Amino acid sequence: MSLARFQPYGTVRQLATTDPRDLAAASKALFGWNGGQRVSRLHGAAIAAARERVRPGRERMRALVAGPGGRLAWRRVPAPPPPGPLGATVHPIAMATCDLDRPLVLGRTPFPLPLQLGHECVAEVVAVGSQVRTVRVGDRVVVPFEINCGECGACRAGLTGSCRAVPPVSMYGFGLVGGHWGGAYADLVGVPFADAMLVPLPEGVDPAAAASLADTVCDGFRHVAPHLPRLLERDPDAEVLIIGALPARYPFSVSTALYAGLTARALGARRVTFCDARGQVREEAAGLGLEAIRPAELRRRDLAPLVVDISGSPRGVRTALAKTAPDGVCSSVGSLHHAARIPISLSFIRNVTLHLGRAHTRTLIPQVLELVTAGTLRPETVTTRLADLDDAPEVLGDHMTGDATKTVLTTG
């Protein structure tokens, strides 16, 4: 059991510590396209909730709700309606924490609470629409956290995280911001586009090992896989530098960064350096075969041709760019801040390529599953705790206030 290291913020403190410029930037992004659809979904959710309070009519189910002050509790909420022709209903059987869940639950992000929590899962299909062809009732599937239709121009190009059939950042587990699609810590989850979204789990792959393919495993993979093979052709000893937290007390957990390191190893990198200010994180990284260093040691290190920034902070992006070698690649997970100062002239002179953005998870899942099935990538080595879903409020409460990396809950 992790020791309590982080205290939750209440609503007042959450609002007081949120930069209005961050909120303004996020609001602009949320209405980048399909703004009317987003308003309609929010309005519909509010009307449905009001009706259910006055005259409950829909079937109820259990869902884990995160409330202000770090409260986690099971609630009886309306179950998803029967799936439409293209949709499916699934029953999560293995659910995992995301690195963003801890700061979200603790009130350290702009995401409004309460919300139905969870967006990484493997599930069993319990109902399908009349036009669904690729999955059947009883199949075990990876459920990507982003909603995507599979038919729009963005989806056909593999840019599933930017699906134009739904509003920007439509996703499970983020409540108002994600578009009220529900959360993975629940008895049932509605999937609007079953053929486009659901990926069958191969025989022999443990659902608990694959749960985070819905987000963080693919997120770590995408920072490395598109760039590393070319760099290793040029130099078989090319270093991959991964930058995690730069302060010693930082609420974001570290699984994405560790998955990036494991991906680099799986794809043939001989030199993988993992930089993090947290001692227990360096111990984890070293246990996985990565060279672990403190941020202060970066000053004495050579520049690296591939630098992966998983810090989630403006300082991390700046540091990663400064450590990227000439004609190298810096791939950053970005942050929730509205702006960051970066060494633009230095990057220009070195001819650095910066990629900053979200993962197109549904496109990546089959590629990652190939490595998992072959045994060259083992996500389960990052898991720090396995527990039963029935114990979710207590187990996840411990995870959120402690320093565990990855908690996976399973049913039965």
Per the DSSP assignment, residues forming a β-bridge with 74 are 64
Write the single-letter amino acid at 346. L
Q: What is the pLDDT of residue 277?
A: 97
Overall domain count for the chain:
2
Distance CA 82, CA 60 (A): 13
Residues 15-26 have pLDDT tens digits of 898 888 888 888
Average pLDDT on 322-336 reads 96
Same-domain status, 282 and 144:
no
For residues 321 and 352, the answer to whether their CB atoms sit within 8 Å is: yes
Does 116 map to a domain?
A: yes
Does 1 map to a domain?
A: no
Same-domain status, 127 and 207:
yes
Does 6 map to a domain?
A: no
Confidence at 4, pLDDT banded by 50, 70, 90? low
Local structure of 351: helix, strand or coil:
coil
Does 262 map to a domain?
A: yes
Per the DSSP assignment, residues forming a β-bridge with 291 are 273
Residues 170-227 have pLDDT tens digits of 999 999 999 999 999 999 999 999 999 999 999 999 999 999 999 999 999 999 999 9
Confidence at 262, pLDDT banded by 50, 70, 90? very high
Mean pLDDT, the chain, integer: 94
Does 175 map to a domain?
A: yes
Angle between helices 216-224 and 361-374 in degrees, nearest 10: 90
Give the max Cα distance, the chain: 67
Give the pair of three-digit tokens for residue 285.
């990284």
Local structure of 406: helix, strand or coil:
coil
Confidence at 336, pLDDT banded by 50, 70, 90? confident
Residue 164 domain boundaries: 11-214+360-375+383-410
Q: What is the pLDDT of residue 2?
A: 47
Average pLDDT on 91-104 reads 97
Does pLDDT of 108 surpass 50? Answer: yes
Distance CA 177, CA 180 (A): 8
Average pLDDT on 267-286 reads 97
Average pLDDT on 382-410 reads 97
Same-domain status, 196 and 227:
no
Average pLDDT on 156-161 reads 98
